[in-house]
Amino acid sequence: MTAGTRAAVRAGLRRGRIEFRQTMTSAAELMAWLWIPVVALVVMYAFGDGTVPGTDISPGSRALPGILAMQLVFTGLMGLAASLTMDREDGTLLRARATPRGMTGYLIGKVVSKAAVTVSMVLILLIPAPFLFDGLELAEVSSWVTLVGILALGLPAVLPIGAILGSLFENAQSLGLVTLFITLLVVISGVFHPITAMPGWVQFAGQLFPLYWLGLGLRSALLPDALAAAEIGDSWRHLETAAVLGGWAAAGFLVAPVLLRRMTRRESGTVVAARRAKATQRMS
């Protein structure tokens, strides 16, 4: 590693720490990322009477891992995509490009900050979980080992997708279509309802995307093994989870750098000025 690269890495890590601290000390940003999962937890607690058939686990306990998986996708994937589009719009990316190794430091900082924020959001949501829902396996060391493993697999699977989307969309408003698509994935990925109760083609479609596998992995970490009977193949399918998430990560890390380089080559002062003018028109 050259001296310039080492300096860029250090700058990126420093930038990541600063952005992470800014997010975690901003009440507005915390609420922006937490309000959807918090509402979901409250709804599951308020209307989650009874148990999952054949177990003593409440529907809320069964839904919690899916809510955490949804949080991983929204905070990690959408957070990085939105951040990239906003930085393109205000010229931050152009300034990073003009600095030697600036893009390397910029991207390292973004990935570090979004990964840290995503993990923090998951941990924050886990704090009240034992008080709201019965039957969670949070006292087991093996549960935390599995949880760490899923986070280690899941973040590399979703963050590159966020970088890809951020390089393809020119402004944050255009990401609304992506939000709608992710909402559809929540429906077909077994987040709130077992995927085995859905039609076969829906099960197939849900398994194509990381959200289902993140939910499955988190259920294996937080729920008793008896609930694996409600999954496809009556199993937590750890090997398949690792393979699919690893495949998404590999594909993302191959595609994202290509699109990011192409995006940064197209940035110029004229382009940024035109983008700002469009943003001003939207606001007026």
| pLDDT tens digits for range 11-26 | 888 999 999 999 999 9
**Is residue 49 predicted with pLDDT exceeding 70?**
no
Mean pLDDT of the chain: 85
Query: Among the listed ranges 138-152, 201-215, 262-276, which one has the minimum average pLDDT value?
Result: 262-276
Hey, where are the domains in the chain?
3-283
Query: Among the listed ranges 142-151, 183-192, 197-206, which one has the minimum average pLDDT value?
Result: 183-192
**Is residue 32 predicted with pLDDT exceeding 60?**
yes
Is the model more confident about 272 or about 156? 156
d(CA 56, CA 174): 44
Q: What pTM does this model have?
A: 0.89
